[in-house]
Structure 1
Amino acid sequence: MSTAPSTPPASGGLGLPKFAKRKKLTPKEKKQFNAAAAKAYLQWGASIRAISTESGRAYGSVHKALTEIGVPLRPRGGDNHPRD
């Protein structure tokens, strides 16, 4: 069974909430961001880097948010060991 990503919102973005850089999120904002980031990552196949760029949050913050709520992360991409 394939988990092919469905299409993100028609606006072209991932529909993530935007926050000021380095802003400490309130519990409500954190819950909202975590849910939106998980949806973008799991349903639309967005990378952590893409989520970070669109939301204005640091890569590490996005990674931590996803792992805190138990989202299984994909392995790093690409085969870096070419076959003979």
Structure 2
Amino acid sequence: MSIATAVSQPPDEQTASSTNAVGLRRIEKGRRLIGESAKQFTADVIKAYETKSIRSICEETGRSYGAIHRLLTTNGVTMRPKGYRRKTSTSPADAS
């Protein structure tokens, strides 16, 4: 019995990822980003981390928590503490 192995060429950039409504691209599982597409993806993830959690970025992009965390830390992003909640400005006038 012989096992035929099909050699496929990597899919083009259009089929490799799709942009969701938020602007982050969903990357196919097992797909490696290189060159300009990797730089753009990194910039998009760093921008998204300003307002989103790592876990929500993972869900949107299809990448693992470790991959997103590594991408952020290797690019010098200061990580927020666990359980971080942004402070909402409440003035004494709003409390009454």
Question: What TM-score results when the alignment is normalised by the length of structure 1?
Answer: 0.69
Partners of 1:35 and 1:17 in 2: CA distance: 11
Does structure 2 retain, via aligned residues, the 8 Å contact 1:34–1:65? yes
Question: Structure 2 residue aligned with 1:51, among 49, 57, 63?
Answer: 57
Whether 2:62 is the aligned partner of 1:60: answer: no
Q: Any idea what SS the aligned residue of 2:25 has?
A: coil
Superposition TM-score, scaled by structure 2 size: 0.61
How many percent identity over aligned positions?
43
CA contact (8 A) 1:13 1:54 kept: no
Residue aligning to 1:34: 42
> What number of residue pairs does the alignment pair up?
65
**Aligned letter for 2:64?**
A
Structure-2 residue corresponding to 1:73: 79
Which amino acid letter does the alignment assign opposite residue 60 of structure 2?
Answer: E
Task: Detail structure 1 runs of 4+ shifted over 3 Å in the superposition.
Answer: none
Larger radius of gyration: 2
Would the alpha carbon gap of residues 13 and 50 (structure 1) be closer, same or farther in structure 2, given more than 3 Å must change?
farther
Contact 1:16 1:55 in 2 (8 A): yes
Listed as ranges, the matches of 1:6-45 within 5 Å are 13-42=21-50, 45=51
Could you tell me how far apart the structure 2 residues matched to 1:64 and 1:48 are? 11
CA RMSD of aligned residues (A): 1.7
